[in-house]
Structure formats: structure tokens, C-alpha cells
Amino acid sequence: MRATVRGHQGFLVMMRFLKLPGNFCRTCGIATHRDMTTKTLYQGWWGIGSFIVTPITVVMNLITRGKFTKLPVPSGSVRPPRDPGKPIFLRAGALGAAIPLAVIVVFVVAASLPDHSAGAASPGDCVNVTGTASNPDVKMVDCSSSDA
């Protein structure tokens, strides 16, 4: 079957698009898909635009892989088919998929942390004011504290 398996490498400012077109049998296509998708999962996230391009590349490869799985098992070839190897998520490179998840978790946790600056004080909160009138140093403190 004629198909193209894609890959993506993200760099801080630039990105690189990879593709491997060819006539693939079932096992060679699955092996190529697994190799290029695994590399994309750990090389693809390292740029700003790559956070959008990498998932698109992975989905495009999943569509191509679906076509490979519909092919019959190869037989009677001049050379033996490639070994498909381990499934993608059993490979060490697949841990690269954790990168965007970690970034999302950091943003969610940072957004949910309370703001302890004086500007976040509400009526009923206790503060400690030190410094001069022109340059006050205002800190929120516990109301049971002697500094309140």
C-alpha cells in the first residue's frame, strides 16, 4: 500500500516536518509508524507552535496506521518484513507524551494557588504594615498573630 508516515521535531523557534512516503506491507508500515510516532512524542514538543503541530502529526499517523492494520499479513516476499517492535507506549520515548501534560498541570496548579500579596486582602483579613508612608511594606498575616 502506498502511504506516508509523518514525524515532527520542534525546536525553540523553528520546527522540522518529516515524512517517509513508500509502499508498505502491514508489518513494515506498523514498524515505521511506531518508530516515527515515538520519536515525535519526545522530539515534537520543544517549540511554541509544536504544541499544536505535534498532536496533529500523531493523529495523522493514527489514520495511516489504521490503513496498515487492514492489510493482510505479508507472505512470499523477497525479503522478510521489518520487526514492528514494542507498541508505542511500551517504548521509553513515549514518555515524551508526558511533557504537554506536565505543562498543563503546572499552569493549572499555578492558577489555582492563592495570592498572598497585600493586594489580595479582603475585608476582615489582617495585614502588617511596616516601612515608611511613601514606601509601605504590607504583608498579610494571621489574625491571631501579634503582628496583626
What residue ranges do the domains of the chain occupy? 2-112, 115-148
Query: For the chain, what is the mean pLDDT?
Result: 87
The closest alpha carbon to 138, from 119, 114, 124, 123, belongs to 119
Q: Tell me the per-residue pLDDT of 78-125, one tens digit each, with 9 for 90 and over.
A: 788 889 999 998 988 888 888 887 888 888 888 887 655 556 667 777
Per-residue pLDDT, 26: 93
- E strands present in the chain: 2-10, 15-23, 126-131, 136-141
This prediction's pTM: 0.67
Q: DSSP letter at 79?
A: S
Q: Tell me the per-residue pLDDT of 12-50, one tens digit each, with 9 for 90 and over.
A: 889 999 999 999 999 999 999 999 999 999 999 888 899
Tell me the CA end-to-end span of the chain in Å, nearest whole number.
76
